[in-house]
Structure 1
Amino acid sequence: MTQPQASSALPAADGVTPISIERIESALSQHGYAFVEDAEHPEVLRARFDDYRFQFMLASVNRPVLQIRGRWNHSVDVSRKHEMLRLCNDWNMGRVWPKVYVRRENEGMLGLYGEVTHDFYGGGTDQQIDRAIECGLRTVIAFFHELEDQLGPEIEDLDA
């Protein structure tokens, strides 16, 4: 599938303007959220919520796609990969958001991630950006809490 040309974008409605990293920064600041810019990747902001690491990124051609990605604050031994995949698949089969997955981070450890992607090709209002951020944070954190509930006391042994 080819990307639509910029000239085929829908006409702007009231308050609908292109998304930018500055608009994401503004939305995060208005909520009092602390974040840092990524010096190597100007399209990425980094933050912590409930002790989980998050990235807010603009992706795709002309960067109209907002992706909010969180990483669970525990690492899991690679020997438990099938169990973690099952937990992620169970979540993904029952919910629309967030997409969750397991990623090998080094020779022996796995990280668990959740992400929500919002398409702002036609632009968006400040309220739409706020809702996208809220959706990303709430749903990814809900997944992490579900993991913690499922694993119970054995969480204490994960990072060892």
Structure 2
Amino acid sequence: MSTPGWLLRVLGGLPKPTKTRPVDDEPPRPLTRDRVADYLLGRGYRFVVDDDGDLTGTWDGSRFWFLLLGEQQEILQVRGRWHRTLPLEQRRALSLAINDWNRERIWPKAYLREEEGLLAVYAEVSADLEPGVTDLQLAQLLACGLGTGVQLFAALEPIVPAEGAPPPDVPDN
């Protein structure tokens, strides 16, 4: 039976691993809407440019926007809005679920907004990229914003009953 590599290293039987250069050694470049669009196109995602010039699309039924904010448009924000809206009476329960999410996870920031007498759930991942961003970093941020937003909305589905459905803890007769 052979000894694991980590144990041999600890006991001095293997040389210490050398540090390798990171795969992403390109210099950071300014954030641009075109770079965001190139990433989305490269992944085969469908999106449009809305009237405000923002990139937007639908993932798992929910709308996401890719916003460039700040004086030099140096802040990237991936913002998602859950496809469902809920009555104001569910604010307390929904707020508890959103608070649990925000307490237990770093991304995305989740919050409620009242819109036309109903509650909407939003997810946001933002990053200040004033010094620039590499393609790999940009890809990671965009994937994080989309992936964690979709996860938040999927996590809410079993917690919040659909219109007319019985609450999850009430058995059907």
TM-score norm. by structure 2 comes to: 0.78
Letter matched to residue 66 of structure 2: F
Q: Which residue of 2 aligns with 1:7?
A: none
Structure 2 residue corresponding to 1:157, chosen from 158, 164, 168 = 164
* Structure 2 unmatched runs, 5+: 1-24, 166-173
Say whether 1:52 aligns with 2:52: no
Question: Which protein, 1 or 2, shows the higher relative CO under an 8 Å CA cutoff with sep ≥ 6?
Answer: 1
TM-score norm. by structure 1 comes to: 0.84
Q: Which residue of 2 aligns with 1:68?
A: 78
Give the greater-gyration-radius structure (CA).
Answer: 2
Q: Which residue of 1 aligns with 2:120?
A: 111
Q: Which has the higher helix share?
A: 1
Write the mapping of 1:116-127 to structure 2, written as runs, cut at 5 A: 116-127=125-136
Shift of 1:133: 0.7
Shift of 1:49: 0.7
Letter matched to residue 79 of structure 2: R
Letter matched to residue 122 of structure 2: Y
How many equivalent pairs are there?
141
Q: Is the 8 A contact 1:58 1:67 kept in 2?
A: yes
Letter matched to residue 89 of structure 1: N
Q: Percent identity?
A: 35
Letter matched to residue 59 of structure 2: F
Q: Is the 8 A contact 1:15 1:126 kept in 2?
A: no
Say whether 1:143 aligns with 2:147: no
Shift of 1:126: 1.1
Post-superposition Cα deviations, 1:4-38, rounded to whole Å, max 9, x if no partner, equal xxxxxxxxx73421000011011100000011002
Q: Post-superposition, which runs of at least 4 consecutive aligned residues in structure 1 deviate over 3 A?
A: none
- RMSD between superposed Cα atoms in Å: 1.4
